[in-house]
Amino acid sequence: MAAVLSSVSDTDCKKLCHRVVDSLCGQTPIHKQILSCSNQEWLDLLNFLTSLFHKTVAENHSEDKVLAELSEAGVSQSGIVLDVLRSRKEEIRQSLLDRTLSISSTTLQDFDWQLKLALSSDKIASLNTALLTLSLDVRENGVLKPFSIELNRKELAMLITSLENANKVLLQLKG
């Protein structure tokens, strides 16, 4: 798999490795850049690099071990991969930590809120109640699901207190 790397020029290799790290850190996935290889080879290379970076950072491998893995690639290419690894180690570690943090089956991805003032309803002429629309993007087993909830002032206070209690428990665990 790494043999494909040896056919790539140094600058391209560097760019490719950095893009792989970017996609590992959660940014947009990369498109095929090396035209001289087949699609299968390209996918294999991507998988190889991703798992290499992943394993090296997660299990804290030494550089010699990485070089042994890269024995099929050229000397300069493996040097470049090492450079990339050295410069992005902290970032990869951070993103892996984030992944470990969202260990449960359902995690909150994004949340957004809008405040609305209901002036009246179909029965009451003057209502003047503030309503909060809370939209949650929840990732459940890898699938993104949007939820939106409308809360009035009392319900919002309830939600906030329960969240605060959860935070307290978390702090106790930490302390």
Partner 1 sequence: MEEVDKILIHALKQIGTEVSEETDSIKRFTSELIVESVVKCIRVIDPGLGSALPTSLPPGMSARFRVGMMLAQACQDIGYKGEIGYQTFLYSNEPEIRSLLMFLVEKLPRESAEASDQPTGKSVVLQRAISAAIKAQLAVPWLPPNCRLPLHYATQSQETLHSFHVQPLSLPQSSGKEHLKEVKDYQRDILLPITAQLSSRTCLVASVLEQHTAELSAAQEWDNEWNSQGLLSRLTPQEYRSRKLTRLHKRIEDQLRSAALPSSESAFGVSHATSDLSELLQSFSGSTHSDHILTKGSHFTHTQKFTFTQDTTAVTNPIPTVRQSEGDALLRQQEELTSLQQQFQQLCSHVSQLAADMKHTNVTNAQVMDELKKREQANSEKEEKILVKKKTIDLLPDTDNNLLKLQAVVEASSKRVINLATQWEKHRAPLIDEHRRLKEICSTQDLESSRKLSEIKSLHDKISVSTEEAKRKEEMHKQLVTELENLPQDASRAEYTQRILEIVSNIKKQKEEITKILCDTKELQKEINNLTGKLDRTFAVTDELVFKDAKKDESVRKSYKYLAALHENCNQLIQTIEDTGTILREIRDLEEQIEVENGKKTVANLERILDDYKAIRQENSALAAKIRDG
* Angle at alpha carbon of residue 101, lines to 99 and 106, rounded to 5°: 85
The only residue of 34, 44, 135, 151 in contact with partner 1, by rule CB under 8 A = 135
Which bin fits 142, alpha (ψ -120 to 50), beta or left (φ > 0)? Answer: left
Shorter beta-carbon distance to partner 1: residue 44 or 150: 150
Residue 12 or residue 72: which is nearer to partner 1 going by CB?
A: 12
Q: Which is nearer to partner 1, 142 or 175 (CB)?
A: 175
CA distance 155 to 138: 20
Instruction: State the nearest-atom distance from the C-beta of 116 to partner 1, in Å.
Output: 13
Residue closer to partner 1 by CB (options 65, 86) is 86
Q: Within 1-40, which residues bind partner 1 (CB under 8 A)?
A: 14-15, 18, 22, 25-28
* Distance (Å, whole) CA 14 – CA 18: 6
Q: Which of residues 35-74 bind partner 1 (CB under 8 A)?
A: 59-60
Which residue lies nearer to partner 1 by CB, 27 or 76? 27
Distance of closest approach, residue 110 Cβ to partner 1, in angstroms: 5
- Interacting span for partner 1 (CB under 8 A) from 62-70, 106-114, 124-132, 152-160: 106-114
Binding site for partner 1 (CB under 8 A): 14-15, 18, 22, 25-28, 59-60, 83-84, 86-88, 90-91, 95, 109-112, 135, 137, 173-175
